[in-house]
Amino acid sequence: MTSSRHHRERHRTDRVGWLRAAVLGANDGIVSTASLLMGVAAASVSHSGLVMTGVAGLVAGAMSMAAGEYVSVHSQADTENADLARERDELVVNPVAEAQELTALYVARGLDPGLAQQVAEQLMKHDALGAHARDELGISQALSARPVQAALSSAASFAIGAAMPLAVAVWMPAANLFVGLAAMSMVFLALLGAIAAWIGGTPVVVSVWRVTLWGALAMAITAGVGAIFKTVV
């Protein structure tokens, strides 16, 4: 007896676009702002100057992340659109060759030649461009480039990430500022790694270790330069 229940699976590939931009933005916000503040603190700058530097870093960083993500992802989208336009023309000019090309792809993946031809014909009858985009070019709706989404996710997450060490700088007593910034930033990075792993469905320990390790290295180098040269870096 065949079960009438539907087999439902939860996949997370549709989150890749905004998750990548959000994790990048938040990580950069925490690391760059904490590193900046630690470098300034090591250079013995006044508390008000420290806070203003952090605010300026937050605003400039968020705008920079938004612009950078939009431009880079839009370049990816332009490349995808150009490939789709080229494929669309090929389907009009030589549909037989395109069907053979799709058949060969399915044969290479393990289908018998006859079955592969039938699959190619059926898919091209339903949506020829979609079949070639997915199976020949590797372009799918879930993984396609979305410049505005990437820009907004990156900018918002950077601002949130940068606000965390900035808040520590505002409320932490000056005597404990350097150590407090370092310790709390590590906590923030570990939390970011755990959240990213939970959303993406990956091992938490590995994600936390990766994020905190590289964040700690960046902050240590920046603070060291500030302490050596007594200047803002």
How high does pLDDT run on average in the chain?
Answer: 80
In a domain, 8, yes or no: no
In a domain, 211, yes or no: yes
pLDDT tens sequence across 123-141: 888 888 888 888 877 776 6
Q: Which domain holds residue 33?
A: 15-86+152-229
Neighbour count for residue 5 (Cβ, 10 Å): 6
CA distances from 118 to 18, 97, 131, 179 (A): 37, 15, 13, 67
Coil, strand or helix: which one is 85? helix
Q: Is the pLDDT of residue 223 over 70?
A: no
Contacts 24+ apart (CB under 8 A), 104-109: 105/135, 105/136, 106/135
In a domain, 136, yes or no: no
pLDDT tens sequence across 63-89: 988 898 888 888 888 888 888 888 888
**Per-residue model confidence (pLDDT) at position 58:** 92
In a domain, 98, yes or no: no
The total number of structural domains in the chain stands at: 1
Distance, in Å, from the CA atom of 136 to the CA atom of 91, rounded to the nearest integer, reads 13
In a domain, 115, yes or no: no
**Residue pair 169/182 in contact by the 8 Å Cβ criterion:** no
Nearest CA-CA partner of 167 in 64, 41, 55: 55
**Per-residue model confidence (pLDDT) at position 232:** 47
In a domain, 198, yes or no: yes
Average pLDDT estimate for 175-197: 85
Q: Is the pLDDT of residue 163 over 90?
A: yes
pLDDT tens sequence across 53-63: 889 999 999 99
Give the H or E element holding residue 4: none
Instruction: Please report where in the chains the tokens 């996710």 appear, as a residue.
Output: 153
In a domain, 49, yes or no: yes
In a domain, 225, yes or no: yes
**Per-residue model confidence (pLDDT) at position 159:** 93
